[in-house]
Amino acid sequence: MRTATTTAVTDQPGGAVATLIRMLLLGLTLLAFTALVVPAWSGPLGDAASVLLALFVPPAVLRARRATRVLFSVLALAVAGVSLHIGTLAPVWQGLHNAMLLGAFLCVLQLLRTVTHAGPAIGEVRSRLARLKNRQAGAGFAVGAFGLGCFLSFGAHAVLAPLLASDADERRRRDAALASIRGISFAAFWSPFFVGVAFVTHRMSDVPTATVIALGLACAAAALAGDLALSGTGPRGLVRILHSLLPLLPVSAAIAALFAAIIAVTGMSAMGAVVVGVPLVAAALIALRGIRQAPAILRTSVAGIVYGSDELLLVVGANVFAAVLTGLPGFVAAVTPLLQGLSAFPLLLAAIGIMLAAGAAGFHPAISAAVLLGVFDSLPGAVDRLALAQALIIGWSLAVTISPVGVTVMVAGQMFAVPYPRLLLSRNLTGALAVGVLSAAGLALLHMVRSGALLLP
């Protein structure tokens, strides 16, 4: 078994810059949590959190990867140019407000990964998956990543990678990595612990979060079923794989019930429910395992906050860029005529296709999603809002599997010891295109049903 790779997800750089980033993001998270719990204070606390997010940008740029710096610099230059043209910084401030809660969201996700990864259920799942037969192993990586990814996101790679034998050849390691990426991508169709779901439901607050999650789960189940059918996994093999994931069922059910209750009672978006709910889940799990574990878990979690600074930097840039661009006089008016008059299917296909193309070009999905939201706001009634929300989430989820700078692919390459460029031009690319087209068709049908154009018997 290969065990050395599992530490890479939690090893974090030190230094003054990383420490400053942690302090700023911890302060932002505390402000966002308080604003959600006490809505009457949300105005001033949101402003303070946005200021901390602005202060986060310079140190985050200093420690970012080269690709992140290049993309963020392009966004910053575009924002500066448009802001000078329109003569106001109001859209910049609005973009920071839009991204503020995402900073807290990414911080609490690190806490959730740390707590769940340290639990006995993960160890038992790993042990059971390791006993699968060779012909079930590929499907096991996809289904395992789907189940684990719902809570650990790309951290699921670190749990699954050691299941490969130490002498596994590159082809087997590549196939396992690709299956793990697909499983995590399908989990991102619905799980509120992924940025895509959180971002879209937060920005589209008129669409019920619970309905988006339920629809996403149905789409994810269909995509996963198709993937398993193509790999030749039969019912007996699927039962063995699902049995391997049973230790996750109690904690999964408890977490799902808590988040459903938070959303139902408060009406929060998925992102807000995660920010409020994860600390409660973490406290409960730590209490059940023994309070003595708390210091080590919290130290690991705080140290890991800096790991997501690249993604947060791009999300901040994307939100500010989208706010400035959609506020540019004439932008929406120039784009809208290109889409007016089109039916739901080509519009949904265009939305998913644009996100895939932007992802393949190295742009963070938050950029294309934010711009598309601004454009579709000028086309009221053209596409059902629930169908549009799910299309953007699916486009986001698929885009990160083919992005040359996607964190999911990069971590998979590291965990499975496969050069990550070899994970880009693969069956996952054709699979993303096929799932994108089929999703657009299915969501167009949903649009027709909800709009009354198609009556069900």
Give, for 101, the enclosing helix (H) or strand (E).
Answer: helix 90-117
Dist. CA 112–CA 196, nearest whole Å? 17
Assigned domain for 397 exists: no
Whole-angstrom CA distances from 414 to 154, 177, 216, 456 are 11, 10, 29, 48
What's the Rg (C-alpha) of the chain? 21
Assigned domain for 417 exists: no
Assigned domain for 423 exists: no
Tokens coding 14: 């030190």
Assigned domain for 456 exists: no
Assigned domain for 443 exists: no
Domain of residue 158 covers 13-331
Nearest to 390 by CA among 260, 215, 272: 215
Q: Phi-psi region for residue 340, left (φ > 0), alpha (ψ -120 to 50) or beta?
A: beta
Assigned domain for 366 exists: no
CB-CB contact of 355 with 188 (8 Å): no
Assigned domain for 167 exists: yes
Report, as ranges of residue numbers, the positions in the chain whose pLDDT lies below 50: 1-13
H-state helical runs in 268-384: 270-289, 294-304, 309-326, 331-339, 344-360, 365-376
Instruction: Render pLDDT for 245-286 as a digit per residue (tens, 0 to 9).
Output: 788 778 777 777 887 788 888 877 777 888 888 888 888 888
H-state helical runs in 188-269: 195-203, 209-230, 235-244, 249-266
DSSP, collapsed to helix, strand or coil, labels residue 24 as helix
Rounded to 5°, angle at Cα 372 from 370 and 375: 115
Assigned domain for 385 exists: no
Dist. CA 23–CA 315, nearest whole Å? 19
Number of domains within the chain: 1
| pLDDT confidence of residue 330 | 67
Tokens coding 301: 């979690």
